[in-house]
Every structure is written in C-alpha cells, then in structure tokens.
Structure 1
C-alpha cells in the first residue's frame, strides 16, 4: 500500500467532514476574490468616475466599504468553521490510526522487538501520527482552497484585463518548474530528516533506560560524543532541508515582484492613455498578489505534506510487518496437565547458526526440573520456544501430547508462566500487576496467591501493601520482590507450566529460599522448570538437564551427574573451585 492510499483509507471514514470542509473552502474562495472587484468599482465608478455628485460618491464608497467589511466578517466565520471541521477530522483520524498501529505493533512477533529499537517504535506511534494529524488538520482543505483560489484568480485576471494578463502569463511556467524542483529536493531532504529523527529517538530511549549502567561504568563523556554524532546528523539533514526552503521562498517573491513590475510598467501606459481605469490596475495587482500568496505558503504546506508522506510511508512499512503466528485460532485453549515434550527440535535465530540441535526432552507434572549449561548453550531459547515466542525450524514441541502450534496461543500462554531474570512490572499498584488489571479477580484471591508463594508478609511491609504504587517499571522494588510478584501472578492465573529463567540469580539468600520453597510446593501439581547458572540453586531438583552447544548431553539428579564426571561435573568444579 502506498502512503497516499494509506491516508486515503482513513480519510474515507470521515468523507462527510472533508466534504463540508471543501464546501466551506469554496465559499471562502468566493468571498476572497470579491474585495478587489469591489475596490475596482469604488475607484473607477465613485472616486475617478464622472457625472456624480459628492454625496453620491460618498455614499457609493461607504456602501462598498461596508460590503467589504461584511465580507471579511463572513470570511472569519467560515474560516473558523473550516478550521474546526478539518481539525476535528484530523484528530479523529489520528485517534483511530494510533489505535490501529499500536494494535498491530503488539501483535507482531517477539523477534521484531529484538531487532527494532523501542525509540523507533515510539516515533512511529507518536511523532509520525502527529505529523499526519497536522496534514489532515492544516493542509487538506487548505490545499483545496488554494487550488480553487488560484483558478478563481486566473479567471479574474483574464476577465479584468486580457491585455495586462498577456504581459505576465509566461510567469506561470516558471512558477510550475520552480514548484516541481522544490517538490523533488524537499522530499529527498525530508526523508533524511525523518530517518535521523528516528535514530535520535532510538538513541535517547536506549540510553535513558540504561542510565544506571552509564553512570556505573563512567561512560558519560563517551556517550556525550556518541550523542553529539547522532544529533549532528539530524542537524545536517535539517540544514539541507533549510537550504531548499531558503531558495524556494525568495524565488517566489522574485517572480511576484517581477510580475508586479511588469504590470505597473505596462499598466501605467494604459492608464495614461486612458485605455484602462486605475481601478482595473489596482484590482489586477491585488489579484496578482492573491495568486502568489498560496505559492509563498507552499513551502510550509509542502513541508507538512512531505512530513506526513514520509511518516505515512514509515507507518505503512511498519504495518507490512507480518503479525505473530498465534497457532490454531480454533485449537485447544486449555492446558490440563502440563506434560511438555521436545521432539527432534532444531532452532536458529538467523536461519544459519543453530542454537538448539536435535533436542529431545520431556517434562512431567509433579517434578521440579532444572536446565543448566554455559552461557550461549541455548537455555533461555528453550523458554522462548515453550511460550511460542519463536517457532523451531525443525521438530515439534508438544504439550499434553498436542503440538504447541495446534493450540490457540493467546489462551495457552496464560497457562505457561515465564518468570525472566528481570521482571517487568507495569505502572499501577501491586494488586493491578498481580491480577493484570482484571478487576473481576478479587483482592482475596490475590492475597491467597501471595500467601502460596510465601510473599504476603513481604508485600504487607510495603507502604499500602498490595496498593503500593509501582513506577518506572518497578525499579523501586527489589529484584526478589519483583520475582515473588511474578510468581504470585502465575499462581493466580493457574498456570500449568512454570519456567524461571535465572530467577534467583539477583536475589538475596532469604528470598532465594522463599522462591525455592514456593517452587517445590508448586511442582507437586505443575511442571516447573528452572533455568540457572548457579548450580547451588538446582542441587535439590528432581531432574537436571545439561545443555552444551545446543544439545542435551546429560540428564539426572545432582549426585548421579557428579558421578558421571561429564559436563555437569566440570561446570560444578569450575563454580565451586572459584568460590
């Protein structure tokens, strides 16, 4: 879909508002071209005309002055109505557009967010849609009015004096060529502006989120230089666009004054020879000024047009991203037991380098499992595959002997609880974050879930308890508190499969004991899988799975794996010899 078709698709929804705006523009155009004609009549008929008494001249001039005043008053009223109607249409269109774009973004696969900076996505949803709103609110009916006005002015110029028009008509091709050149160079410059703005937003979003790391590592000076480079690129693209504007606007002024000079030169001769009235000359110059007025404003309007075209082009490209595959919409929605099986699973993020190789695993409810291995072995990838965030290139993942992709993943994911190392909490209260803003879930149910994960006493010590307000992604809470809240959330929604990715790596010993105790109790009825680096946290697991270079190389209990003196034994030696 082209940017033009994209904008038209939304404009069609409010065609009646744009029709009203067009009719108002037509009325405004008629009102705009009347005053020069009335001034012509005032000058030629009443001021310089012959055979009229002073009283008749006075009454005639006063009548025309009142008529012009009335026209200007009507222009104000219709102009206000036009601005309100188009502004309302633009606001409604962008309101719908933002909803559609956000809805599409959150339906995209997880891989999209791993390769696209969050600042770029924010720019598309906020800044680019705002540019489009300005287009609908300020440009659409304005351009229609300008076209109507130009047509009416040219007609008036020819009608008032063909002789004078014959001396300036050749300016029209020069104006047309200037506009075409401006259009080409401005569009080229504005694409650079939008691209560099997205880079700037992405840089800011990334580095503001990671400001703690910048301070800890003393990277302020280095990041200042890096930001200066990104900001400089944006500045250069703005200056390139400014050069285009700096040439076009004065060029329009030059062509206007050239036309006025020619009209005064030839008009003075006609007036002197009395073959042309002074009122005609005045009206012709007024219409010439009226002709160049929208052309002078074209740079600003075309700036908005190019801005909106560039923005809509980027939004269209975003909307072209394929939505996430959510399994079978008509498939099973309920996981009953939580029996999990990997059968000959191969997976690669880029299609070339295999992260997992021929993985065969099974996890049964009622047992506590642990997955260990060196960094990059593929442990966290297993979690992403179980949730359906990624789809393996080969092999099949089964839940309760049904292929994962046969489930309706929107419902199945609610029953697969994933607790990452860094738990993200939303702005709101702890209550909101545990029940995920579902007000049909009672407070007592939330308190019961906290009790089951041994976190109720910790949460009650916070100001307000479960009504404690969470801000900035939950950074005011400790890592352990966030982990416990995530566990309570999973218990509340009756997840059948629990996956914890390094959930105890950043918590204190007491909180780790609470989490371990909670997991042991939860594993009696559910499938619980711990992904860990620290082997001390997995010693009591019912079964430990060792992953090495993307393959499952060992399985068993802690004591049995140590006796084998294989990969697990080496990992254990490395960790505990370094302590």
Structure 2
C-alpha cells in the first residue's frame, strides 16, 4: 500500500509510546493538561444540576434571596469553566507547538546525516511533507487527540451516570437515539478517514510537482512547455480540490444529521416530561436539566468521530516520522579518527561500487595518489569518474574493497573532519539564498573574515565581490540567480579553499566558465594545489596535462594510466580522446 494512503490503528501502543517520549521533556505540563481536561469533564454536568435545583427548590419556593445566591454560584461556575477552557486550549496548543518544534529539529538533523543514496530514491516533495505537513499533524493530536478523547469519554460517563441518578426513565428516553447517533458517527468516521487519506496523498503530489517543476523552470521555459505543465498542475490541483470537497460534503451531511438526532432526543424528553409534569411525576426543573444533559451528551459523540480521525492521522504521521528517524539503511557510520593534520595520501584498493547493488559502476578500481601529487581522471560520460570522488568523500559507501586516506580507512574517520579536509568544487554549483559570506563559510564560526578574504584573493574573485552592492553581504538569491555561471563557480572555489583542505577535488570545475574565468581559476589552482593532493576530473584535456598521473576510466574499469606524454605515446584510449578534442594527429 502507498505510504501516503495507508491508515494506522488508533491505539498502536508502540507508536503512542514513542509519541509520549517526545512529550517527556514537558511531562509536567502534559499531566497538567490531562488534569484540566478531566476537571472540565467533571464540571460539565454541574450547570444543569444547579439549574434544576434553582427551578425546583428556589424559584418554586419564591425564595428570592436564595435565587440571588444561586445566580452568583452559577456565574462563578461559568467563570471557572471559562478559565478551565482557556487553560485547556492554551496548554494543548503550547504543548503541541513545543513538541512539533523538537520533532522537526530532530527530523531535519536526521535528514542531514543521510547518505545521498536516500535522496536519489526519495522525492524531495515527500521529504517536505514529512518535515512540514506530517509534523504539523501532530499538533492536532495534542489539541484534539488522546487527552481530548479521554475527556470526552469521561464526560459521557459522568453525564450518563448523573442522568440515571436524576431520573432513570428520562435517561433511557434520552439515550434511545444513541444507536442512530453511533451508526451515523461510524459511517462518518470511515468516510472522513478515507477522505483525509485522499487529501494527504493530493498534498504530497502537489508538493512533489511544484518543487520539481519550479526547480526545473528553466527547462520548462526553454522548451516552451508552460501550457503543458500548467495543464498537468491543473489536473493534480483538481484532485486536491475534489478530495477536500468530499471531506466538506461528509461534514455537511454529518453535523445536520447529528443535530436532527439530538433534536429528536430533546423532543422525546419534552414530550414524555410534559406528560409526567402534568401528572406531577416529574418536576419542570428535571425536564429542563435533561434538555441540557442531552446537549452535553451528544456534543462529545459528535466530536469523537473527528477526534478519532485526528488521532489516527497523527498515528500514521508519527509512524512515518519514526520510520525516518529510526532508519539505519541510509545512515553513514561515523568513525572517531580525527587527526590534527592530514598529509593527503589517497589510495583505492580493489574498489567495487554500484548505486543499485546490481549494475556495477566501478569494477576493481585500484590506484594511489601520494600526498602533494595531482591525479586526473578522464573518460566518457558515465564511465564512473564522478563516482570515485563521491566515494572518497563518503557521499556513498563502497560495496567491496577499501579506500584509505593516510593509510586509514575512510570509514574510521570522523565524517565532518574527513570532509573538511577534502575541498570539492563541482560543475553544477549550488548557492543558497543568502549572502556571499554565508555561502562561502556556510555559517562555520571557525572561519574568520580575514581567512575568507585571503581565499577570495587567491582565487582572484575578491575585487569582483567588492564591486557588488554590499560586497560580501550581497544576497545572491535562490541558487545564486543574480550571479553569472562563472561568478558562481569562483565563489564555490573560495568555499572549498577557505577550509584549507589537504585534498582538492575538481569535478569538471572549469567546464562551465568562459576562457577568462577559466584562466583565473587555473591560476588559483596552480597556487592553491602547492603542497596539497589534487584529484581532477575534466573533459578539457588541456587542464590536466601537468598532472602527475592521468587515469583513463571506461565502463567502470581503469583502462590505462600514466603521464600526458606517456599516454600519447601509447596511442590508445587517451590518445584517441586527445585527437578527437584537438582534431590533430599526434
């Protein structure tokens, strides 16, 4: 069954225990909320009893002094009930907001630790639904969930008990319509549950569609697909509308039906009570109290169906959140090795890797890069070049073999320490909607402004940044849309270099920039790679001719390696690539 459409058991003990674990830091307020809900339930039958006493014992006796006293007592009871209702509403909302804040932070921290394979297999819209909609659903669980259901049930029990104690005949007449109410409530509960599932599925589809197509808006506009995509969105949005209208329809039917059943019960009580009043078997105050009891009795029943669905949706949301929090499949094991300095020696020993555990991307890859050396990888698209650097930084874990840095398996390194020592510059640069400074430092307080400016000067981009409005405080907007491709690439280079990494990885880092910008980067590379290990992936063979070793990869295999001159002399794979690129005979 689709994860977005399945329903959960209302009383799933395991999930309820986990949900309560989130409440533990606020358990004093939680128990205070439970106590207030119980108090509200106990106070509910009090007003009808006071009115019955006032009519039968005070007004009928013509005792105006006691009447004034009773009015004051009822006013005090109303004030107390209002205060209890206030604290009930406030505490439930307060508790819900604090708990969902903690859950959302915990969930986001979990997402940050997941390996990239998880994001390859999971739509971003679904993660947005988990982090926003599913967590938000839990707030309703605290305001209208378990504690509120317990309060409603307690109120039902108390009201029934008081009704039977007051007059069992009127009580039975009042309760005679319960079967109709229970049947209609059950039907409504099932219909609205299905409707809620449909709404949730539609919301997830909307999130996924909007996120994906706004991200890919340039492709939509380049190919003139605006009208087609608008039609697709209209269809998805139409399903969302239909699902919501169905839930509105069920509410529109249920509440009038419930009111009619309640009115029938009142009518029966008045009809029977009037006859008994005429024969002096029942007092007028008792009949009046029962009319009020009926409202107190049927209101919780009407609310229970809604509350059960709210709780059920909360259980389903909690289940999905817990599964993500507890998932170990996509969590990277974090080692403890974090030496003060790294030399930058890198070795791959018989490494095998597959993204889907079926089709091998890398097959028995072995090579070594000594500290301070430069190695370059070339090959056709899809040959496995980028996978090599993804494995080095542990964005993915290998299936077989061993990857070592300074002779230590990368799995033994503290992950943050390892990645801080590997500066990566990718072809597809991602900049956040923030200042240039924050895009360079990523909020790392250990990076001083002086260090950032020094790195920018080495790259040759400092003057360019200073010419922008606000300099390093210039907001580049979403994905760096206010900067050119070359400017974004230069900033990403500063972002990598400001960490002072011992290993530099350039993945097609100059393929998307103009000649002038490439010259700036090449100058920065020659300066910054001194004393550092460099791993370069490039289609432009001119950028790697000075590498200590060039490794040619084809279909996941290393087919040849050597210096630029050695590979040209062999006249094989690399030489063919060189001839095709430069259109000359070697």
TM-score in terms of structure 1 length: 0.92
**Cα pair distance change 1:325/1:338, threshold 3 Å:** farther
Cα pair 2:185 2:305 within 8 Å, conserved: no
**Cα pair distance change 1:342/1:400, threshold 3 Å:** same
Q: Secondary structure at the match of 1:419?
A: strand
Q: For 1:405, which of 403, 406, 411 is the aligned residue?
A: 411
Q: Secondary structure at the match of 1:458?
A: helix
Structure 1 residue 520: Cα displacement: 2.2
What is residue 20 of structure 2 aligned with on the other side?
Answer: 8
What is residue 276 of structure 2 aligned with on the other side?
Answer: 270
Distance 2:370 2:554 in 1: 22
Gaps of 5+ in 1: none
Q: Deviations over 1:515-552 (max 9, x none)?
A: 12222233331111121223343344343221111111
Structure 1 residue 390: Cα displacement: 0.9
**Cα pair distance change 1:222/1:294, threshold 3 Å:** same
Q: Deviations over 1:23-76 (max 9, x none)?
A: 2233333433222112212322344x3xx4xxx344444433333222212222
Distance 2:94 2:374 in 1: 59
Structure 1 residue 511: Cα displacement: 1.0
1:451-530 pair list within 5 angstroms:
451-530=457-536
Q: For 2:141, which of 135, 139, 151 is the aligned residue?
A: 135
Q: Secondary structure at the match of 2:403?
A: strand
Cα pair 1:252 1:295 within 8 Å, conserved: no
Distance 1:316 1:442 in 2: 39
What is residue 24 of structure 1 aligned with on the other side?
Answer: 36
What is residue 261 of structure 2 aligned with on the other side?
Answer: 255
Q: For 1:84, which of 87, 90, 100 is the aligned residue?
A: 90
Distance 2:543 2:531 in 1: 21
Q: For 1:67, which of 70, 73, 98 is the aligned residue?
A: 73
| Structure 1 position 376 matched with structure 2 position 382 | yes
Q: Secondary structure at the match of 1:428?
A: coil
What is residue 310 of structure 2 aligned with on the other side?
Answer: 304
Distance 2:161 2:393 in 1: 68
Structure 1 residue 288: Cα displacement: 0.9
| Structure 1 position 43 matched with structure 2 position 61 | no
**Cα pair distance change 1:498/1:324, threshold 3 Å:** farther
Q: For 1:396, which of 402, 416, 422 is the aligned residue?
A: 402
Structure 1 residue 473: Cα displacement: 2.8
Q: For 1:566, which of 567, 572, 575 is the aligned residue?
A: 572
| Structure 1 position 358 matched with structure 2 position 364 | yes
Distance 2:289 2:74 in 1: 14
What is residue 95 of structure 1 aligned with on the other side?
Answer: 101
Q: For 1:112, which of 94, 110, 118 is the aligned residue?
A: 118
Cα pair 2:163 2:171 within 8 Å, conserved: yes
Structure 1 residue 275: Cα displacement: 0.8
Paired residues, number: 572
Distance 2:472 2:246 in 1: 55
Distance 1:152 1:194 in 2: 36
| Structure 1 position 214 matched with structure 2 position 226 | no
TM-score in terms of structure 2 length: 0.91
Q: Secondary structure at the match of 1:298?
A: helix
**Greater shift in the superposed pair: 378-387 or 191-200:** 191-200
Distance 1:313 1:199 in 2: 20
Q: For 2:345, which of 339, 343, 350 is the aligned residue?
A: 339
Gaps of 5+ in 2: 1-12
Q: Deviations over 1:480-516 (max 9, x none)?
A: 2222222223332221111111111111111111112
Structure 1 residue 185: Cα displacement: 4.2
1:282-321 pair list within 5 angstroms:
282-321=288-327
Distance 1:396 1:463 in 2: 48
Cα pair 1:327 1:408 within 8 Å, conserved: no
Cα pair 1:427 1:472 within 8 Å, conserved: yes
Q: Deviations over 1:88-109 (max 9, x none)?
A: 2222211211111111111111
